[in-house]
Amino acid sequence: MRAAARERAIREPRAPARLLALLKELRARGYAHTTVTPATHARVNGRKGQAWARDINGVLGWSRPFSGDVLPGPLLSRLQAADLLEQVPGGWRSRVRVSSLDGVCYLHSAWPTQDPRAVFFGPDSHRFAHWLSEWLAHCRVPPARAVDIGCGAGPGAVTVARHCPQAEVWGVDINDRALAYAAASAEAAGLDGIRWRHGDLLQGLPGEFDLIVANPPYLLDAARRQYRHGGGARGEGLSLRILECALERLAPAGTLLLYTGAAMVRGADPFLARLQARLAGEPVSWRYRELDPDVFGEELEQAPYADVERIAAVGLQVCRPGRCARDDRFTAPRRRLRSRRTRSPPGGVCPTTPWAG
């Protein structure tokens, strides 16, 4: 094996065959399930008569224990073969959930997600993917090279790859289990060209990107779970690191789409204030908006949120102005263009990117 191929084989997880077989089996059965918030999950599972699963959705959507006769034989065998079942008194329980979004089934960790290395997929993944889809549907020049930072179960990278079949798409995460689940989910949906890579943000990934997307952890989590703990004063630490990364690695006319959370204090948005201070004078255009005014309300009962009145889901779009190498309008005719080339003004409108959402 040549050195480059060997390095790819080691560092880019391929979809484990047994996970893929499980997802194909579910696909053949027309399986679908919409994931809900942990609080809703607890309420629904707490209802009378809901303690044990009675069908596939009960097992793989609602993470309920089940007895051996609930699942069709081939599905039970697939789960056993992939080592995804644990024994509980009176039956079994699945270690994974499978949730659908825009027709793709995503593998993620069973509820409740207490494990520090649990693989996240939730209503935030839906909001994030829909925000991306909206932007990609109106994008005048599709990205040639894109990356989803903190890809988790894969919805960001999958959304980009579906909209831009010609693009080189990367999904990076510090959680190997997430990468394996994402690779299997994408491949089962017919998207086997996405490159999944273990890494802290963009470390180890070369080059510039036309599109950087991310839905990172943005809460302050006492247990410091990888999918949940954002660090910083109120959970914004990782989001600010992603912004720094994007400022270094966006290609000319490239765009960052950062979906994250902002903790609001006495009517003010300290995260927005940090952005304003950091981006003042940067040669980029940027916009910011609330996508949902109130998410993870239950967190406000925790001590670090004592002065926080709500957590909003927000979208930050940053565009690096410049000539876009992949836009025909700018690549031909070359000579005339060169003489007219000017720097886009700071805060100027990027020629290739609409405002998301």
Ligand X SMILES: C[S@@+](CC[C@H](N)C(=O)[O-])C[C@H]1O[C@@H](n2cnc3c(N)ncnc32)[C@H](O)[C@@H]1O
Decide if residue 125 touches ligand X (CB under 6 A). yes
Q: Does 258 bind ligand X (CB under 6 A)?
A: no
Q: Please state the closest distance from residue 165 (CB atom) to ligand X, in A.
A: 21
CA distances from 89 to 18, 52, 56, 65, 115 (A): 26, 12, 19, 9, 21
Among 62, 92, 128, 305, binds ligand X (CB under 6 A): 128
In sequence order, which residues have a C-beta less than 8 Å from that of residue 268 and are 6 or more positions away? none
Q: How many helices and strands, by DSSP H and E, does the chain display?
A: 12, 11
Alpha-carbon torsion 93, 101, 312, 276, what sign? positive
Number of residues that bind ligand X (CB under 6 A): 25
Measured from the Cβ of residue 42, the count of other Cβ atoms closer than 10 Å reads: 12
**Residue in 13, 61, 143, 150 binding ligand X, rule: CB under 6 A:** 150
Q: How far is the CB of 103 from ligand X (least distance, A)?
A: 16
CB of residue 230 to ligand X, shortest distance in Å: 8
Burial of 168 (0-12, 13-18, 19+ CB in 10 A): middle
CA dihedral 343, 347, 353, 356 (to 10 degrees): 170
User: What are the helix (H) ranges across the chain?
Assistant: 3-11, 17-28, 38-45, 56-60, 73-81, 123-138, 155-163, 176-188, 237-249, 270-279, 328-331, 334-340
Tokens standing for residue 238: 């990782």
Quote the least distance from Cβ 62 to ligand X, whole Å.
Answer: 19
Stretch that binds ligand X, among 93-101, 139-147, 169-177, 278-286 (CB under 6 A): 169-177
Identify whether the C-beta of residue 135 lies closer than 8 Å to the C-beta of residue 354: yes
Query: Given the complex with ligand X, which of 32 and 141 has the nearer CB atom?
Result: 32
Q: How far is the CB of 246 from ligand X (least distance, A)?
A: 13
Q: Minimal distance in Å, beta carbon 268 to ligand X?
A: 24
Separation of alpha carbons 88 and 85, rounded Å: 9
Question: Looking at beta carbons only, is 58 or 156 nearer to ligand X?
Answer: 156
**Binds ligand X by CB under 6 A, chosen from 13, 65, 217, 322:** 217
Q: Does 13 bind ligand X (CB under 6 A)?
A: no
Interaction pattern, residues 182-211, with ligand X; x per rule: CB under 6 A: ------------------xx----------
Region from 5-13, 54-62, 167-175, 271-279 binding ligand X, contact rule CB under 6 A: 167-175
3-state secondary structure of 317: strand
Question: Any contact of residue 216 with ligand X (CB under 6 A)?
Answer: yes
Which residues are at the interface with ligand X (CB under 6 A)? 120-121, 124-125, 128, 149-153, 155-156, 172-175, 178, 200-201, 215-217, 226-227, 238
